[in-house]
Amino acid sequence: MEKNKHIADNYKPKTCIYKRREWRGLKDTLYDFGQWLKLWGILAGWLLAHPIQNIKALFRYRWMYTYLTVVSFFDRLMSQMRGAALRAARNNMNTLAKIVTKHLTILFSADEHLHPHSKRAKKKSEHIILIDELLPGIFGAGFKGYNTILYQVAPVYLPSLINQHAPVHYISQTESYGLPADVCPLPSYEAGVAIEDDFCKVGKCFISCNMPCDGSIMTSAVQDRRHGLPTMPLNVPLRWKREEVMDYAVKEYKSVIKFIEEQTGAKYDYEELRKACEIWNEQTRMKMEKWELNKTDIPPHTGSTSWLYRIFEYQFACGNAAALKNDKKVNAILRKQVAQGKFPKTVKHRAIIWNTPCNNYANFNEWLLDCWGIDSVCEMIDFQGSEIIDTSTPETMLYGIAKMAQGATMRVHTKGGYEVILDDLWVKMEEFNADMVIMFEQISCKGVAAISGLFEEQAMKRNVKFVWVKQDLMDPTSISRRDMRDDINKFMKTVMREEPLDESLVDFDDSESW
């Protein structure tokens, strides 16, 4: 990338929407345009399959309009990408779009809010098992003929990424109800959706859990009151590095399976679970290869599409054959570029991004690279349950999925003792040959905040370039995207004494952007 491309000049004022599509050279622009059309095809196919139902959903659920902006979201995530990075990103995100649209169809066609008094919808609803969004859905594979739905993904998690303003209304609702504003916006948003009655009314039963944090434990009580379904909490042990917790963890899964069997009348099928676990093992191997490629001098798979897809795959598409197919395709593309020694981006720093990323600024990684040449070669959020599951017996599989759940998104580092998040940072720094740490100060994440001094001191002792970036996960009203950029700008100018790659990106207003 040449210096000063004036990327921000292509943004419509305040909105960050492109005035025209990016020019990436003939080959890449054509590829990007083709994939962009493919995305439109996926969305159109979904809409036209059930037009009335989907339009009803659009008017029924406030969060649903956010999905209309998904094309722009994908464009933001792929800013300035070339070569393998662009191809990997587009393939990942289009796979995600395909799976999510299928998921929305399952949800809406069973939704009593959209189909009151419909026997057909009710029947479909009875074949849905709801689980907390932090639980990997893989164990649901054993309930053949049933759909395991991560309850909060469609109304909460995805909208918070796609549109920075989506959570604001729901968080306000929860706070009006009496919740203090200092709690994490994720459970607060979930509670707000429940208070507003904006969850789809589906499901035979619900499996809640204690992940990822104290706030998430508590928000389940608010949601319970709204859906009124038979609920069982799955207690996932916190000290996940200790072998002694495993017996309890497996028994918890067994009790959950028994509970679902009682609720649905279905019999758990371990052969189906084995098939899903084997696919997941392959998915994990694919991810491990990506990490290895990123450890090279020419990291090909960095940025938000990488971690975002990984979260999605771990929770939502674990054991999903379509996701694995995409992984194989993407890995082949990445491998080829590394073998060729191509590196179509300007990188001045290899950074580790630690702590939970900011959902309302998912494309922060792209800004770091485009503005300052900081490539995020390693992200904390990328390291979910990555142990291979032993599929030899039902016991070993339950052990594997129990272990996998303990290493869930975020909590794999935020739970299990302070060493897990603190020591692993320095390990990863070395493994990925990083030269700086970008540490998110997620102001409402108390587990990490409570050891912030330890990070600071150890970074000083190790003489590591370490920058704090304040954010509030899903609430742009407390810390905006511009504030986050400002933390980096100040550090880069005053501590690092560097000049930006693109001056136009240093400070701009995107407050009205999705």
Partner 1 sequence: MRDLKHIHFYEDLLEQANNELVQKAKGEGKACVAYTCYYMPEALLNLDNSFSVRLRAPHTGSLDISQYYMSSFICGYSRALLERAFEGGYNFIDCYFASDTCQQMVRVVENIHEMNLIDNKRFYYNIIDAPLKVTEHGTEFYINQVKTRFLEPLRDKFNCDISEEALKKAVEMHNRMCAIFEEISEMRKEENPKITPREFHILCLVSYACPTYLILPYLEETLEDLRHRQKDEKNRWRARVVVVGSEIDDYTFSEILESCNCYVVADRYCYGSIPGRQQIKLNDKEPILDQVCRNYLETNQCPRFMSQDKIQGRRDLVKKLVEEYKADGVIYEQAKFCDFWGYERMLAGRVMQDEYKIPTTQIDREYVVSGSGQLMTRIQAFVESLEIKKIQAKEAKNGKE
State yes or no: residue 474 binds partner 1 (CB under 8 A).
no
Whole-angstrom Cα distance, residue 329 to residue 332?
5
DSSP H/E element including 353: strand 349-354
Residue 321 Cβ, how far from partner 1 at the closest point, in Å? 34
State yes or no: residue 462 binds partner 1 (CB under 8 A).
no
State yes or no: residue 152 binds partner 1 (CB under 8 A).
no
Query: Applying CB under 8 A, what is the total number of residues that bind partner 1?
Result: 52
In the window 121-140, what residues touch partner 1 (CB under 8 A)? none
3-state helix, strand, coil in the chain (%, to 5): 60, 10, 35
Binding mask 316-355 for partner 1 (x = CB under 8 A): ----------------------------------------
Query: To 10 degrees, the CA torsion angle through 496, 499, 500, 505?
Result: 110
Residue 219 Cβ, how far from partner 1 at the closest point, in Å? 7
Closer residue to partner 1 in complex, CB, 34/417: 417
By CB under 8 A, which span of 27-35, 120-128, 316-324, 443-451 interacts with partner 1? 443-451
Whole-angstrom Cα distance, residue 271 to residue 139?
12
Binding mask 228-257 for partner 1 (x = CB under 8 A): ---xxx-x-xxx--x-xx-xx--xx--x--
Residue 213 Cβ, how far from partner 1 at the closest point, in Å? 7
Residue 218 Cβ, how far from partner 1 at the closest point, in Å? 3
How buried is 481 (Cβ within 10 angstroms: 0-12 exposed, 13-18 middle, 19+ buried)? buried
Whole-angstrom Cα distance, residue 80 to residue 366?
8
Please report, as a single letter, which amino acid is at residue 397.
M
Closer residue to partner 1 in complex, CB, 238/298: 238
Out of 9, 214, 387, 395, the only residue in the binding site for partner 1 (CB under 8 A) is: 214
CB contact at 8 A, 17 and 73: no
CB contact at 8 A, 219 and 190: yes
State yes or no: residue 305 binds partner 1 (CB under 8 A).
no
By CB under 8 A, which span of 75-83, 158-166, 213-221, 304-312 interacts with partner 1? 213-221
Closer residue to partner 1 in complex, CB, 194/506: 194
Whole-angstrom Cα distance, residue 149 to residue 137?
7
Radius of gyration of the chain from its Cα atoms, rounded to whole angstroms: 22
Token code pair at residue 14:
């305040």
DSSP 181-225: TTS-HHHHHHHHHHHTT-S----SEEEEE--S-HHHHHHHHHHHH
Residue 138 Cβ, how far from partner 1 at the closest point, in Å? 22
Token code pair at residue 236:
């996932």
Q: What is the strand order of the sheet 374-379 is part of?
A: 374-379, 349-354, 436-442, 465-471
CB contact at 8 A, 488 and 469: yes
3-state secondary structure of 151: coil
3-state secondary structure of 503: helix
Whole-angstrom Cα distance, residue 465 to residue 438?
9
Residue 125 Cβ, how far from partner 1 at the closest point, in Å? 21
Out of 152, 210, 315, 356, the only residue in the binding site for partner 1 (CB under 8 A) is: 210
State yes or no: residue 220 binds partner 1 (CB under 8 A).
yes
By CB under 8 A, which span of 74-82, 158-166, 205-213, 302-310 interacts with partner 1? 205-213
State yes or no: residue 449 binds partner 1 (CB under 8 A).
yes
Closer residue to partner 1 in complex, CB, 220/365: 220
Token code pair at residue 140:
């649901």
Out of 17, 47, 58, 218, the only residue in the binding site for partner 1 (CB under 8 A) is: 218
Residue 256 Cβ, how far from partner 1 at the closest point, in Å? 11
Residue 114 Cβ, how far from partner 1 at the closest point, in Å? 27
State yes or no: residue 454 binds partner 1 (CB under 8 A).
yes
CB contact at 8 A, 232 and 259: yes
Find where tokens 């990016």 sit: 22
How buried is 504 (Cβ within 10 angstroms: 0-12 exposed, 13-18 middle, 19+ buried)? middle
State yes or no: residue 415 binds partner 1 (CB under 8 A).
yes
Neighbours of 255 (CB within 10 A): 13
By CB under 8 A, which span of 58-66, 135-143, 184-192, 288-296 interacts with partner 1? 184-192
Out of 142, 167, 185, 215, the only residue in the binding site for partner 1 (CB under 8 A) is: 215
Q: What residue ranges bind partner 1 (CB under 8 A)?
A: 177-180, 182-184, 187, 191, 208, 210, 213-215, 217-222, 224-225, 231-233, 235, 237-239, 242, 244-245, 247-248, 251-252, 255, 414-415, 417-418, 441, 443-444, 446-447, 449-454
